[in-house]
Amino acid sequence: MFQAGTLTMKMTNHWNRVIYRLWAPIYDVTVNRFFMPGRKRALEVLALRPGERVLIVGVGTGADLSFLPAGVEAMGIDYSPDMLNQARHKLPFLHSPIQLVRGDAQQQLVRDRSFDAAILNLILSVIPDGQICLEVTLRALKPGGRAVIFDKFLNDNGKPSAGRRFVNRFSTFLGTDITRQFGNIAKGCDIVVTHIEPSLLHGTYRVMLIRKP
């Protein structure tokens, strides 16, 4: 859906389902090759331990699954059935029990306080409402639970340049928003940022670790 009077694409579940149906068969062999170092580093920062339960929000084709240590129980949620089908092909080769669920990560799909950790890799800039997604994820975490985020964010102290806004017209069409700020997404959320480091594209992407008090 395009916003009236502009060429800006509005992120919606319907459009994401359409565009990620097209991405699904080629995602792992194209753009995800670029993202894999960031995903790997995010899992290192999260430092999952055997016996923990982890919620993977926006599991997609299961690109993060190979980085899960043995003994971890995982649930992956994604809105795209086509991306989930790609993830299912990976399950026989993994060493951890993993449940894949199709659903909207903007809605409460799991019990409150039922996970030790969460993975939010490349989802907060994709899902229509990143703030609601973060809030719902935090409700799923136990007190003291932690979540890792690997994503691209605009500096909280800045505004998107004219060039960035122009490019965003095309990036949203392809399924991602490059103008979002983490400060806006996390506004009103009770979190503590315990770690942040620059990642891909000279820090355009970041790896962050947050904790629920």
What domains are there in the chain, each with its CATH number?
13-211 (3.40.50.150)
By residue count, the chain amounts to: 213
Residue range 45-80, pLDDT digits in tens: 999 999 999 999 999 999 999 999 999 999 999 999
CB 118 within 8 A of CB 140: yes
pLDDT at 124: 98
> How far is the C-alpha of 102 from the C-alpha of 125, rounded, in Å?
19
- Mean per-residue pLDDT of the chain: 93
Using only the alpha carbons of the chain, give its radius of gyration. Answer: 16
> What is the percent of the chain with per-residue pLDDT over 90, rounded to a whole number?
84
Residue range 169-189, pLDDT digits in tens: 888 888 899 999 999 999 999
Distance between start and end Cα atoms, the chain: 38
CA distances from 64 to 58, 70, 113 (A): 10, 13, 22
| Biggest alpha carbon–alpha carbon distance for the chain | 52
The model scores a pTM over 0.85: yes
